[in-house]
Amino acid sequence: MHVSRMPWRFVRNMLNNPKVIDEMSQSYPVRSLARFLIRFYKTAEHKLEQSGAPSARRAHSRFTALFKEEYQKALKSKDK
């Protein structure tokens, strides 16, 4: 095995560990990033609603529906 691949293999193995993922999700940087992304999403959503552009609203509706659908699929696969 090539030496430079070793760190990536280690990182990949760590990120496949549910305990590590849970601990990371509770960390300040990850929670801050999540808050930032939600704030960004809500701000963009508000601006789209205020723009009055019908195509922007349709795109937003499609994106929201697809996001919810994929999120539900991820939750169901996690439960299995």
- Asked if pLDDT for residue 7 goes beyond 60, the answer is yes
Own/partner pairs for 35-44, CB < 8 Å, 24+ apart? Answer: none
Q: What is the pLDDT of residue 13?
A: 85
Q: Write down the pTM of the prediction.
A: 0.50
Instruction: State which amino acid sits at residue 5.
Output: R
- Asked if pLDDT for residue 35 goes beyond 90, the answer is yes
Own/partner pairs for 2-11, CB < 8 Å, 24+ apart? Answer: none
Q: What is the pLDDT of residue 32?
A: 94
Which tokens belong to 22? 């849970």
Q: What is the pLDDT of residue 78?
A: 67
Closest-CA residue to 22 (of 32, 35, 31, 10): 31
